[in-house]
Amino acid sequence: MTDATGVAFVETREYRRFREFCDACRRDRYIGLCYGPAGVGKTLSARRYADWDRVEATNPYADFGDFRSDDVPGNGCVLYTATVVNSPRQIEDDIARLFRRMHQLVRQAIRTEAEPGIAAAQRRLEEERDHLLIDHDWFSGPSERLRRAKAAVSETILDRADRDRGARNPTDLLLVDEVDWVKTSGLEQLRAIFDGCGLGLVLIGMPGLERRLARYAQLYSRIGFVHEFRPLGAPEVRALLAGWRPPGVALPEDLLADAEAVATIIRITGGNFRLLNRLLTQVARILALNGLATVTREVVEAAREVLVIGAT
């Protein structure tokens, strides 16, 4: 499977657990808390769940889109990434803007679906006007066929307008990433949005976030689900290495041929997806610089030497 940029996205066990967690928060309209160390894939998983690559790729100023009502980008889910400097008013305005964007996507889909019908009705009207000029018997009175064609155009345009006016904001889940940056007043603002909008809310941050939120009783009492996003296990890393490669990085297809090299990769990265990405990028660089075709333990160790990744 690939995202909007064409880069392969691997649905790991941790992603599937995260997806089930988000589904539960969305279904039951609860606040969910997701935490995990840096680099394990929390943000990538949130973007994947929210279909955010497709949302960002759409034109917010267009009247029409290349999607239909049953395939609106975002799937009714908004992803908001908190900024380092934030205030309750900024958080409220930013999230309101994203909600409006979701609403606009639904309206774009409605217009896209209605356009072929309107165009067909207008073509039929032009045909009837041509017929009126050439073949119509003027002594028989006004053309009934022309009247029906005009009415059909009006009906299709009015139907689109009715659907457009009746379109509702589809957002039923709000994902908030980098919650660690949000101050106490900002957390209260998120709680107010949750209370006022009747949607599910998922807060995503680093380990320790759950202990911090426990100090705010009004917010913490609303948390219905907690999900710890864990690093990949050794079997999952091996499965990943069997087919996945960092974007734009050329590595041998038989990356798993040297068991010692694979064990070294697993030991160094500890199942951290971001470290795995960085390490394999350096492995490819070392192979290219030295004209090597095989990944060995020595190559992996050399790649590890140029990375700042802490003790392993």
As a whole number of angstroms, the distance between CA 33 and CA 25 comes to: 10
Mean pLDDT to the nearest integer, 81-101:
94
- For residues 200 and 246, state if they share a domain: no
- For residues 141 and 266, state if they share a domain: no
Range of the domain at 293: 234-305
Whole-Å CA distances, 2 to 5, 7, 54, 268: 8, 5, 11, 27
Average pLDDT, the chain: 87
pLDDT at 137: 57
Single out the residue of 244, 192, 199 nearest to residue 12, CA to CA.
244
pTM to 2 decimal places: 0.82
CATH of the domain at 255: 1.10.8
Are residues 291 and 270 in contact, defined by beta-carbon separation less than 8 angstroms? no
On whether residue 159 sits in a domain, the answer given is yes
pLDDT at 121 over 90: no
pLDDT at 240 over 80: yes
- For residues 238 and 209, state if they share a domain: no
pLDDT at 155: 84
- pLDDT above 70 as % of the chain: 91
On whether residue 310 sits in a domain, the answer given is no
On whether residue 144 sits in a domain, the answer given is yes
On whether residue 251 sits in a domain, the answer given is yes
On whether residue 312 sits in a domain, the answer given is no
pLDDT at 56: 94
Domain boundary among 230, 255, 281: 230
| 254-307 per-position pLDDT tens digit | 888 889 999 999 999 999 999 999 999 999 999 999 998 899 999 999 999 988
- Per-residue pLDDT band at 141 (split at 50, 70, 90): low
Are residues 271 and 291 in contact, defined by beta-carbon separation less than 8 angstroms? no
- For residues 245 and 223, state if they share a domain: no
Computed on alpha carbons and rounded to an integer, the radius of gyration of the chain in Å comes to 27
Point out the least confidently predicted range of 1-5, 145-149, 194-198, 280-284: 1-5
- Reduce the DSSP state of residue 79 to 3 states and report it: strand
- For residues 79 and 166, state if they share a domain: yes
Domain boundary among 230, 251, 270: 230
Question: Which tokens belong to 194?
Answer: 């949750």
- Per-residue pLDDT band at 43 (split at 50, 70, 90): very high
As a whole number of angstroms, the distance between CA 139 and CA 136 comes to: 9
On whether residue 135 sits in a domain, the answer given is yes
| 72-85 per-position pLDDT tens digit | 999 899 999 999 98
Mean pLDDT to the nearest integer, 89-117:
91
- Reduce the DSSP state of residue 312 to 3 states and report it: coil
Q: Which amino acid is at 222?
A: R
- For residues 244 and 132, state if they share a domain: no
- For residues 35 and 151, state if they share a domain: yes
Residue 113: CB partners within 8 Å, gap ≥ 6?
Answer: 68, 69
pLDDT at 312: 46
- For residues 211 and 245, state if they share a domain: no
Single out the residue of 48, 51, 15, 54 nearest to residue 34, CA to CA.
15
Domain boundary among 208, 230, 252: 230
- Per-residue pLDDT band at 201 (split at 50, 70, 90): very high
Other residues' Cβ atoms within 10 Å of the Cβ of residue 150: 16
- Per-residue pLDDT band at 5 (split at 50, 70, 90): very low
On whether residue 223 sits in a domain, the answer given is yes
Point out the least confidently predicted range of 44-48, 105-109, 175-179: 105-109
Mean pLDDT to the nearest integer, 56-75:
88
- For residues 110 and 196, state if they share a domain: yes
CATH of the domain at 122: 3.40.50.300
On whether residue 273 sits in a domain, the answer given is yes
pLDDT at 1: 41
- For residues 89 and 217, state if they share a domain: yes
Single out the residue of 261, 239, 242, 264 nearest to residue 253, CA to CA.
242
- For residues 223 and 257, state if they share a domain: no
- For residues 160 and 276, state if they share a domain: no
pLDDT at 100: 93
The total domain count for the chain is: 2
- Reduce the DSSP state of residue 133 to 3 states and report it: helix
pLDDT at 24 over 70: yes
pLDDT at 4 over 60: no
